[in-house]
């Protein structure tokens, strides 16, 4: 039998975590990585019988790598706290691992929901995705060092895409979807500030315009009516907000560094006076 480990990385997302873990009962093991959680995430994970990895992981790549290292299964299934795996997809995953032995990884479709409404079209990588490599043999997937939307590389042979989809709730309502944009753009700003090259505002505007056209026209967001227009607009705002907030982060870091330098200088002056 192939042993399957489920990996869930959580950051103060206890609202849906219990249901997420309950739907993973078909896995042989569930590993929960709790990153600086101050809510009930750890308690929920323990009650569900999950293996808990509790710590501080500034980067998404660090969280996922720590989780994979804690997994003991031959295969790893990545699921986010706002996602569920229904019975049909669970059966398909188990059947694929037992019968299609030549594959090393699979891509899983993602159905995005806003409340109870499924938005089939218009999603881009900033707010969510249509599909991701979520099922793979342990040790074959690696992530770039990013705080959010970390690109990944998977080695081995592809098994293609499964038919069933992970169900993701991007928010209970429009307000929570906007909050999602706020949270993700703040993390993206930190990544841009780390590179010390946040780029120009004009370039961010062009990227935003491209994201809007990609989501609304090419990916068919227009089919979703007003909500499709909203998703495309938020996707367009993502690179603009990230660029503007990166400038704020750099200024704040510079001010903190200046204050620290002044503090050290004062301490040296005091030490010099005391030694005379």
**E strands in the chain:** 4-10, 29-35, 51-55, 75-78, 83-84, 105-114, 117-119, 131-137, 141-143, 152-154, 158-161, 166-171
Q: How many domains does the chain have?
A: 2
**201 within a domain of the structure (yes/no):** yes
pLDDT at 97: 95
Q: How far apart are CA 16 and CA 85, in angstroms?
A: 13
HSE value, Cβ hemisphere, 13 Å, CA-based, for 185: 22
Percent residues over pLDDT 90 in the chain: 82
**131 within a domain of the structure (yes/no):** yes
145 three-class SS: coil
Domain identity same for 81 and 36: yes
pLDDT at 259: 87
**271 within a domain of the structure (yes/no):** no
Among the candidates 102, 137, 170, a domain finishes at: 170
Domain identity same for 41 and 147: yes
**106 within a domain of the structure (yes/no):** yes
Domain identity same for 10 and 137: yes
pLDDT at 1: 83
Among the candidates 135, 170, 205, a domain finishes at: 170
Asked if residue 229 has pLDDT above 90, the reply is: yes
When pLDDT is averaged across residues 156-160 and rounded to a whole number, the result is 95
**274 within a domain of the structure (yes/no):** no
How close are the terminal C-alpha atoms of the chain, in Å? Answer: 76
Domain identity same for 139 and 236: no
Percent residues over pLDDT 70 in the chain: 98
DSSP 47-112: HTT-EEEEE--SSHHHHHHHHHHH--SSEEEE--TTEE--HHHHHHHHHHHHH-TT-SEEEEEEEE
- Structure tokens, 195: 């590179």
**99 within a domain of the structure (yes/no):** yes
When pLDDT is averaged across residues 205-234 and rounded to a whole number, the result is 95
Domain identity same for 71 and 28: yes
Domain identity same for 221 and 148: no
Domain identity same for 160 and 181: no
Domain identity same for 66 and 83: yes
pLDDT at 27: 97
Which domain does 115 fall in, by range?
Answer: 4-170
Domain identity same for 140 and 240: no
* Average pLDDT score over the chain: 93
Domain identity same for 118 and 75: yes
pLDDT at 276: 63
Give 96-150 pLDDT, tens digit per residue: 999 988 899 999 999 999 999 999 999 988 899 899 999 999 999 999 999 999 9
Give 4-26 pLDDT, tens digit per residue: 999 999 999 999 999 999 999 99
212 three-class SS: helix
Q: How far apart are CA 7 and CA 33, in angstroms?
A: 8
**100 within a domain of the structure (yes/no):** yes
Cβ within 8 Å of residue 230, ≥6 positions away: 174, 177
CATH number of the domain that residue 39 is part of: 3.90.550.10
When pLDDT is averaged across residues 43-65 and rounded to a whole number, the result is 95
Asked if residue 260 has pLDDT above 80, the reply is: yes
**273 within a domain of the structure (yes/no):** no
Among the candidates 143, 170, 197, a domain finishes at: 170
Q: What angle do CA 188, 107, 185 make, to 5 degrees?
A: 10
**The dihedral sign for the CA sequence 75, 80, 81, 85:** negative
When pLDDT is averaged across residues 64-91 and rounded to a whole number, the result is 96
pLDDT confidence of 275, banded at 50, 70, 90?
A: low
Domain identity same for 129 and 145: yes
pLDDT at 274: 67
Domain identity same for 148 and 191: no
């Amino acid at each position: 039998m192939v042993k399957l480990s489920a990996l869930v990385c959580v950051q103060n997302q206890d609202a849906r975590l219990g249901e997420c873990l309950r739907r993973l009962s078909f896995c042989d093991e569930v590993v929960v990585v709790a990153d600086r959680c101050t809510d009930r995430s750890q308690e929920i994970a323990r009650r569900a019988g999950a293996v808990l990895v509790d710590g501080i992981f500034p980067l998404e790549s660090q969280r996922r790598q720590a989780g994979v290292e804690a997994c003991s299964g031959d295969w790893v299934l990545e699921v986010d706290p706002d996602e569920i795996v229904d019975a049909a997809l669970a059966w398909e995953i188990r059947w694929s691992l037992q019968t299609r032995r030549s594959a090393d990884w699979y891509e899983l479709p993602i159905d995005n929901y806003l409340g109870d409404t499924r938005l089939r079209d218009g999603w881009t990588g900033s707010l969510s995705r249509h599909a991701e490599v979520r099922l793979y043999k342990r040790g074959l997937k690696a992530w770039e060092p990013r705080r959010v939307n970390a690109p990944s590389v998977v080695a081995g042979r592809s098994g293609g895409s499964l038919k069933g989809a992970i169900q993701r709730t991007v928010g209970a309502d429009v307000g929570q979807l906007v909050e999602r944009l706020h949270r993700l753009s703040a993390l993206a700003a930190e990544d841009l500030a780390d590179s010390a090259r946040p780029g120009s505002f004009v370039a961010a505007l062009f990227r935003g315009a491209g994201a809007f056209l990609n989501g609304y026209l090419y990916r068919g967001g227009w089919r979703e009516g007003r909500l499709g227009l909203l998703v495309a607009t938020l996707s367009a705002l993502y690179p603009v907000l990230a660029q503007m907030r990166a400038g704020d982060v750099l200024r704040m870091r510079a001010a903190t560094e200046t204050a620290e330098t002044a503090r050290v200088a004062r301490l040296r002056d005091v030490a010099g006076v005391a030694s005379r």
